[in-house]
């Protein structure tokens, strides 16, 4: 009989594949730096045409848990856990635009329609502030189980996704929303009974609109979950921050949002439910960011040249070849298969012109640093433009050779494929991450030969995520050149805060905590005064760990990292997730405006989040003076 | 619940690989045909629940999976009697959780606390410790062979990725796993969280129709009513 590193019985054929993969890996290491190009080619494909999993295997799925547990900072290289899959043989899926419905039955009500099975924390705030009810656009979304193909080399997978009544998928349909056009989504839980969860996931949901300037009862708070058969009407006003405070009546144009996403946020089970597929995009357009390259900022037109890309890393059970989730990880989960928009390593046929891509890290725990890689010219740096951070257009595009994001962060980039006409290039993640702690820290790990394990992998040796096949025929491109563009101003931070609060993120005997306290749906840590300015200090007390910290309702600006201005130009931006690096202390600037109610602050490594690295707070008419909530 | 006999065969087969892995290399043996993949529930059992022999504070011989986990709603945590940092808080919390869950503990909910110092924490020592915390039937304090306890700790993910920290028993993982084995619902919460919150969290893995209180009785922001205690 044959066994893999997990102690699991495998077939002779599978065992031979494992041995071949391990041998290939040793050869790759031995080949070292002598021939990067060959290494790239070997690394990409084995003789049998199967992709070799080289990096970032799930710490526990991979790491012989019965012998080693996770007590190894440098775990990561070894036998692949997931079955082999071929790369770049299926086209990229582009999620359809969500369709509205003419009416909802029963009709939406301002107070929760408890009798009809609605679960909502409070009456809608928006109608009281002059927003129409019902709003002009209505959506009927249903959470349900779906059978999908994530690779032609794997059987159909049962995932949880969304349907708008016309299209169903995971990621779900993409909302194309517009400022000034409020909308309401009825989110209905039609997931299968708990006996059919396939090994992970709880059929109990709450859908958060990530970075929405959303009234709290529609925010999708982790504690506002509901069970099968129930629904929640979520009112999205699509209004600029400041509309009811410092920029009446329409809000501050410099607070415009563009790339948002929706995802399940069920307390204690967010990692399982999002890994199972409960997420999608929500794009918000306005008179400048129009979705049409002939108007406004003249950004590449949606949807043909403006493409949302949701990245996820997953593990498949080597025996059943079904999606597997490490239920008992506290640190974070890494996969050895990389999905874009629900497919493992797809290809995308592009034209030699500019595209806008909205890159989203859906987690559960991995950070990415994206590069453009030309396999026939690995030494080249292939620059592109970052135009938005967390979906917020920067004051001006920033030209980069790479950009790093953590879980839940978004970065919008403009890539000009003209220099690559007729070529095949790749979007590659070169950031080396071995476990849930975050990217490998300098000096943290050595390989089998005693050499330091780098944070950044050489070109072609990272994770090839998406293949771009660039056609050779020149085409029209009416989008603006990013080099010449400017967007919005950053809202002033030159305002004295009403209070500066400190949040220490820590691990106390393995228990993730914020200021020594744990998530509890009945405990509110502090009260923010409506329409006031606050500074928040995020302090990392967990040593080598990196945490993507997310705060609901309002965006922030990073005033300093360890008392210095943020070093990266792309971080001079509005943000809703801030990476808290090892031993860092980050100072954030906030304006809390317009809406009242409860919101969370939490780590968006969803495994940390599910293990209580989260706290609830309020916006109320009166604020409190709790400095260390 | 009816268990097909094939399941027993798989259980036996699954015991073999541990020996091979402990020797530090993958096991290769005689050829075998492809086998039908086990159910997700069976995969979870294989991956996380070694069926090691343990002894309870009241002197019973038990098997971890067969007697403490299978077909049950469970809590699992690690502690040791002479731990004077977090264990007293966690164990007092668990005693309170047992009170809050009432008669269900011992009926369909079972609580397991496993010592990290099995040499010191004999059944007799654990019995005294259980009495000190007012543990009632349905909550077992457990000891066993060190290798078995260590296997359990690692299999259940009560580890720290930093090997220096992982070796330091005073920094052991203080979380409480909770789960419903047949429903394959598993999560964890901090052992130092509020006992009422821990008990409420456990209620989520009980079948909705069997829950002691409505799953959703939320009130408007900040004015959450005291919840019905399970």
- pLDDT by residue (tens digit) across A540-551? 999 899 999 999
Q: Are strands A137-148 and A183-189 parallel, antiparallel or unpaired?
A: parallel
Q: Is the peptide bond before A249 cis (omega within 30 degrees of 0)?
A: yes
Asked if residues A312 and A362 have their Cβ atoms less than 8 Å apart, the reply is yes
Nearest-CA distance from B69 to chain A in Å? 15
Residue B15 contacts A where some CB pair is shorter than 8 Å: no
Q: Which domain holds residue A213?
A: 114-305
Q: Confirm whether A393 is domain-assigned.
A: no
Whether the pLDDT of residue B80 is over 90: the answer is: yes
Q: Confirm whether A165 is domain-assigned.
A: yes
A310: which residues sit within 8 A by CB, 6+ positions away?
A: A171, A261, A279, A280, A281, A339, A340, A341, A342, A360, A362
Per the CB < 8 Å rule, is B184 touching A5? no
Q: Confirm whether B222 is domain-assigned.
A: no
Per the CB < 8 Å rule, is B26 touching A5? yes
The DSSP line for A171-187 is: SEEEEEEETT--EEEEE
A283, A305, A327 - which closes a domain: A305
d(CA A99, CA A97) in angstroms, rounded, equals 6
Q: Are strands A347-350 and A463-470 parallel, antiparallel or unpaired?
A: parallel
Whether the pLDDT of residue B9 is over 80: the answer is: no
Residue of B158, B181, B218, B224 to mutate when probing chain A, most A C-beta within 10 A: B218
Asked if residues A300 and A21 have their Cβ atoms less than 8 Å apart, the reply is no
Which residue would you say has higher pLDDT here, B34 or A361?
Answer: A361
Burial of residue A162 (CB within 10 Å: 0-12, 13-18, 19+) is: buried
d(CA A626, CA A499) in angstroms, rounded, equals 9
Per the CB < 8 Å rule, is B166 touching A321? no
d(CA B130, CA B139) in angstroms, rounded, equals 9
Contacts of A624 in chain B (CB under 8 A): none
Asked if residues A187 and A201 have their Cβ atoms less than 8 Å apart, the reply is no
d(CA A357, CA A121) in angstroms, rounded, equals 35
Q: What is the pTM of this model?
A: 0.88
Asked if residues A626 and A529 have their Cβ atoms less than 8 Å apart, the reply is no
Q: Confirm whether B43 is domain-assigned.
A: yes
Number of domains comprising chain A:
2
d(CA B50, CA B63) in angstroms, rounded, equals 9
Mean pLDDT for chain A overall? 90
CATH number of the structural domain spanning residue B91: 3.40.30.10
Q: Confirm whether A410 is domain-assigned.
A: no
Distances (CA, A) of B193 to A462, A519, B104, B189: 40, 8, 21, 7
Q: Confirm whether B47 is domain-assigned.
A: yes
The closest CB to that of B162, out of A73, A268, A326, belongs to A73
Question: Which residue, among A616, A550, A213, has the nearest Cα to A408 in the 3D structure?
Answer: A550
Whether the pLDDT of residue A7 is over 90: the answer is: no
Q: Which domain holds residue B166?
A: 36-208
Q: Confirm whether B213 is domain-assigned.
A: no
Percent of chain A with pLDDT over 90: 83
Whether the pLDDT of residue A8 is over 70: the answer is: no
Whether the pLDDT of residue A57 is over 50: the answer is: no
Condensed to tens digits (0 to 9), the pLDDT of residues B167-197 reads 999 999 999 999 999 999 999 999 999 999 9
Q: Confirm whether A351 is domain-assigned.
A: no
Contacts of B167 in chain A (CB under 8 A): 71
Per the CB < 8 Å rule, is A70 touching B190? no
Number of domains comprising chain B:
1
b/e map A462-498, b = 16+ CB within 10 Å: bbbbbbbbbeeeeeebebbebeebebbeebebeeeee
Residue A195 contacts B where some CB pair is shorter than 8 Å: yes
Q: Confirm whether A154 is domain-assigned.
A: yes
Q: Confirm whether B106 is domain-assigned.
A: yes
Expressed in percent and rounded to 5, the helix, strand and coil fractions of chain B are: 40, 20, 40
Residue B219 contacts A where some CB pair is shorter than 8 Å: yes
Q: Confirm whether A339 is domain-assigned.
A: no
Condensed to tens digits (0 to 9), the pLDDT of residues A195-226 reads 999 999 999 999 999 999 999 999 999 999 99
Q: Confirm whether A469 is domain-assigned.
A: no
Residue A121 contacts B where some CB pair is shorter than 8 Å: yes
Q: Where does the pLDDT of residue A21 fall: very low under 50, low under 70, confident under 90, or very high at 90 and above?
A: low
Q: Which residues pair with A260 in a beta bridge?
A: A282
Quote the crossing angle between the two packed helices A36-44 and A12-31, to the nearest 10°: 170
Q: Confirm whether A87 is domain-assigned.
A: no
Condensed to tens digits (0 to 9), the pLDDT of residues B37-74 reads 889 999 999 989 999 999 999 999 999 999 999 999 99
Q: Confirm whether B57 is domain-assigned.
A: yes
B window 122-161, beta carbon within 8 A of A: 151, 153-161
pLDDT score for A216: 97
Asked if residues B88 and B188 have their Cβ atoms less than 8 Å apart, the reply is no
Query: Phi/psi of residue B110, each to 5°?
Result: -130, 135
Asked if residues B192 and B79 have their Cβ atoms less than 8 Å apart, the reply is no
DSSP three-state, residue A621: coil
Q: Confirm whether B139 is domain-assigned.
A: yes
A window 210-249, beta carbon within 8 A of B: 216-217, 223-228, 230
Q: Confirm whether B11 is domain-assigned.
A: no
Percent of chain B with pLDDT over 90: 70
Quote the crossing angle between the two packed helices B87-101 and B195-203, to the nearest 10°: 50
Whether the pLDDT of residue A350 is over 90: the answer is: yes
The Cβ-side half-sphere exposure at A382, using a 13 Å CA radius, reads: 24
Distances (CA, A) of B93 to A115, A238, B143: 37, 44, 20
Contacts of A225 in chain B (CB under 8 A): 215-216
Per the CB < 8 Å rule, is A612 touching B190? yes
CATH number of the structural domain spanning residue A592: 2.60.40.420
d(CA A49, CA A83) in angstroms, rounded, equals 13
Average confidence (pLDDT) over A367-387 = 97
Q: Where does the pLDDT of residue A451 fall: very low under 50, low under 70, confident under 90, or very high at 90 and above?
A: confident
Q: Which residue has the tokens 């919008």?
A: A412
A272, A290, A305 - which closes a domain: A305
A624: which residues sit within 8 A by CB, 6+ positions away?
A: A526, A527
Nearest-CA distance from A585 to chain B in Å? 22
A261, A280, A305 - which closes a domain: A305
């Amino acid at each position: 009989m044959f066994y893999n590193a997990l102690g699991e019985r495998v077939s002779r054929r599978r065992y031979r594949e494992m041995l071949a993969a391990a041998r290939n890996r040793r050869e790759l290491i031995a080949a070292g730096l002598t021939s990067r190009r060959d290494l790239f080619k070997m690394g990409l494909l084995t003789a049998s045409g199967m992709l070799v999993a080289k990096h970032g295997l799930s710490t526990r799925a991979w790491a012989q848990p019965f012998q080693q547990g996770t007590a190894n900072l440098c775990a990561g290289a070894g036998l692949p856990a997931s079955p082999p899959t071929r790369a770049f043989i299926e086209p990229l899926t582009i999620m359809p635009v969500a369709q509205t419905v003419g009416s909802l039955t029963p009709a939406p009500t301002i107070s929760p329609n408890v009798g009809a099975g609605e679960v909502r924390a409070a009456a809608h705030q928006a109608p009281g502030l002059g927003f129409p009810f019902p709003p002009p656009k209505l959506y009927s979304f249903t959470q349900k189980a779906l059978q999908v193909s994530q690779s032609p080399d794997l059987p159909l997978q049962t995932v949880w996704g969304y349907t708008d009544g016309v299209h169903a998928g995971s990621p779900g349909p993409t909302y194309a929303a517009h400022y000034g056009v409020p909308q309401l989504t009825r989110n209905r839980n039609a997931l299968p009974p708990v006996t059919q969860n396939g090994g992970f996931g709880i059929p109990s949901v709450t859908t958060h609109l990530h970075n929405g300037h959303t009234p709290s009862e529609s925010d999708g708070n982790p504690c506002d979950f509901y069970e099968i058969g129930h629904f929640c009407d979520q009112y999205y006003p699509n209004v600029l921050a400041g509309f009811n405070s410092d920029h009446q009546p329409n809000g501050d144009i410099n607070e415009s949002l563009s790339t948002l996403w929706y995802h399940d946020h069920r307390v204690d089970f967010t990692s399982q439910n999002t890994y199972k597929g409960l997420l999608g995009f929500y794009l918000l357009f306005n008179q400048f960011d129009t979705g049409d390259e002939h108007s406004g900022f003249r950004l590449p037109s949606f949807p043909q040249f403006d493409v949302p890309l949701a990245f996820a890393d997953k593990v498949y059970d080597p025996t059943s070849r079904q999606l597997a989730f490490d239920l008992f990880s506290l640190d974070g989960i890494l996969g050895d298969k990389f999905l874009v928009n629900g497919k493992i390593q797809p290809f995308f046929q592009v034209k030699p012109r500019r595209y806008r891509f909205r890159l989203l890290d859906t987690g559960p725990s991995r950070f990415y640093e994206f590069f453009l890689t030309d396999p026939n010219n690995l030494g080249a740096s292939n620059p592109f433009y970052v135009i938005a951070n967390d979906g917020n257009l920067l004051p001006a595009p920033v030209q980069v050779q790479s950009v790093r994001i953590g879980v839940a962060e978004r970065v919008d980039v403009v890539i000009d494929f003209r220099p690559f006409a007729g070529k095949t290039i790749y979007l590659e993640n070169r950031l080396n991450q071995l476990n849930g702690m975050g990217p490998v820290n300098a000096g943290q790990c050595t390989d089998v030969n005693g050499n330091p394990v780098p944070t950044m992998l050489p070109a072609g040796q990272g994770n090839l995520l998406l293949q771009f096949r660039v056609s050779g025929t020149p085409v029209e491109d009416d989008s603006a050149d990013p080099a010449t563009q400017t967007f919005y101003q950053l809202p002033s931070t030159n305002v004295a805060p009403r209070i500066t609060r400190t949040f220490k993120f820590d691990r106390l005997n393995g228990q993730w905590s914020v200021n020594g306290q744990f998530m509890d749906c009945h405990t509110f840590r502090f009260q923010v005064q409506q329409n006031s300015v606050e500074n928040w200090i995020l302090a990392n007390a967990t040593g080598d760990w990196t945490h993507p910290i997310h705060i609901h309702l309002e965006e922030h600006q990073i005033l300093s990292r360890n008392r210095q201005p943020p070093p990266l130009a792309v971080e001079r931006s509005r943000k809703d997730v801030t990476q808290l690096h090892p031993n860092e202390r980050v100072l954030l600037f906030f304006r809390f405006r317009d809406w009242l109610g409860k919101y969370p602050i939490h780590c968006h490594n969803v495994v940390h989040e599910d293990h209580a690295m989260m706290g609830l707070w309020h916006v109320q008419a009166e604020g409190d003076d709790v400095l260390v909530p | 619940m009816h268990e097909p006999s094939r399941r027993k065969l798989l259980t036996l087969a699954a015991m073999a690989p541990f020996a091979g892995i402990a020797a530090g290399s993958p096991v290769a043996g005689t050829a075998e045909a492809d086998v039908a993949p086990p159910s997700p529930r069976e995969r979870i059992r294989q991956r996380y629940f070694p069926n090691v022999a343990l002894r309870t504070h009241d002197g019973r011989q038990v098997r971890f999976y067969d007697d403490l986990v299978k077909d049950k709603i469970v809590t699992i945590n690690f502690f040791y009697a002479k731990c004077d940092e977090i264990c007293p808080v966690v164990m007092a919390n668990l005693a309170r959780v047992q009170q809050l869950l009432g008669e269900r503990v011992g009926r369909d909910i079972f609580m397991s606390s496993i010592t990290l110092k099995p040499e010191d924490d004999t059944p007799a020592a654990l019995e005294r410790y259980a009495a000190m915390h007012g543990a009632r039937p349905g909550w077992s304090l457990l000891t066993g062979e060190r290798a078995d306890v260590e296997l359990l700790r690692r299999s259940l993910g009560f580890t720290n990725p930093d090997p220096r920290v992982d070796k330091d028993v005073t920094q052991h993982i203080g979380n409480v796993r909770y789960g419903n084995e047949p429903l394959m619902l598993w999560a964890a919460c901090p052992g130092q969280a509020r006992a009422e919150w821990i008990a409420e969290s456990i209620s989520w893995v009980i079948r909705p129709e069997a829950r002691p209180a409505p799953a959703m009785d939320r009130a408007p922001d900040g004015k959450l009513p005291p919840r019905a205690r399970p």
